[in-house]
Amino acid sequence: MNNCILCLYVLLTLFLCSKTHAEEEGDVIKADRQALAEANAAGISSKIIAAKEQLSDDLGMLEDQRRRDVEGVIIPLVPDGQGHLLADVLINNSVHASLVVDTGSPVVMLTSSFIQKLGFDLSHSNMGYVELLNGKYRAAAVSLDSIKLGDSQAHDINAAVLLEDTHGLSDGLLGLSFLSKFHFTLDQAGQKLILRKTE
């Protein structure tokens, strides 16, 4: 009797897992499966082969994405010679920036010279001050549509534009308004940042 209950439990678990994976597969995999079913129904071998290959490719990409979500995306960082690590990010899907990874900064901070590349009008932005290690600076609040770092992307990022000379700071700081959207690990010795998807 216990063996029957155990078998039933295992089957139910497998069913639920397969259902969960099917729900996670999304529209692309559903379309691939539909195309394969139609090709099988038509009995055209070339279409069946093509549909199987497409399904296999898309399932492989999905599995890679799941693995990245669990293991994390590893971002190599570049030392700037001053004890900081720089990350190459893509802002608003249009402009690359070299930002110092700063886990102590509450928001992403960009220099006024860099923000000109994005074409922002700061005349209607809220103004205030931000504290950095080397002083207090006037700043304008802005919102960025997106920041992409490696294969990881986040949207609607609060940022501050530093309106004064920041004494050699590159394009800005990559702060917690981006980093906190992930489970992140900064490996200073290994010069890398690991980003894991949050639930």
Are 115 and 28 contained in the same domain? no
Secondary-structure breakdown of the chain: helix, strand, coil percentages, each rounded to the nearest 5: 40, 35, 25
Question: Which structural domain, as residue segments, surrounds residue 169?
Answer: 74-197
Cα separation of 60 and 53, whole Å?
11
Are 58 and 14 contained in the same domain? yes
Residue 46 confidence (pLDDT): 82
Are 81 and 179 contained in the same domain? yes
Number of domains forming the structure of the chain? 2
Are 115 and 40 contained in the same domain? no
Are 111 and 61 contained in the same domain? no
Looking up tokens 């078998």 gives 7
Residue 121 confidence (pLDDT): 83
Cα separation of 22 and 7, whole Å?
22
> Of 36, 56, 71, which one is at a domain's C-terminal end?
71
Are 85 and 176 contained in the same domain? yes
The CATH number that applies at residue 112 is 2.40.70.10
pLDDT in tens, 36-81: 788 788 888 887 888 778 878 777 776 666 665 555 788 999 998 8
Q: What is the pTM of this model?
A: 0.64
pLDDT in tens, 100-121: 999 989 999 999 889 889 888 8
Looking at every residue in the chain, the average pLDDT score rounds to 80
Cα separation of 79 and 48, whole Å?
51
Residue 146 · residue 93 · CB < 8 Å = yes
Element (H, E) at 66: helix 45-71
**Other CB atoms within 10 A of residue 117 CB:** 14
Are 50 and 30 contained in the same domain? yes
User: Strand, helix or coil at 199?
Assistant: coil
